[in-house]
Amino acid sequence: MDGSPTTKQRSPRIVGKYKGYKGDYCCVPGCTNSRGSCNRLGLKVAFYQIPSNPQRRKLWLQRIRRGEVDEHGRIVPFIPKSHTRICSQHFIGGT
């Protein structure tokens, strides 16, 4: 020890702004539910993955009505990724 004050090393995950895992987010337009915020508030909300079955997948994507308009005014279809989720509040009986 050289007599200088020691500084505790911080984890690279929390240096500056915290960018840690906050959980899944619901992909339905206008929904702000995330697994992290629902857990903090004590809400019982489940997050479901979009089905891989082509018929069910197509039905789910039609029901959430998510698409974007390109610069030419055409609707670009939403292509979900493996981590895309929908929260239980968008299902009958969902809490």
CA distance 47 to 34: 9
The mean pLDDT value for 60-83 works out to 85
Distance from C-alpha of 47 to C-alpha of 93, rounded to nearest angstrom: 14
Residue 7 is predicted with a pLDDT of 55
What beta strand segments (E) does the chain contain? 47-49, 67-69, 75-77, 85-87
Using the predicted structure, report yes or no on whether residue 28 has a pLDDT greater than 70: yes
Reply yes or no on whether the pLDDT at 80 is more than 60: yes
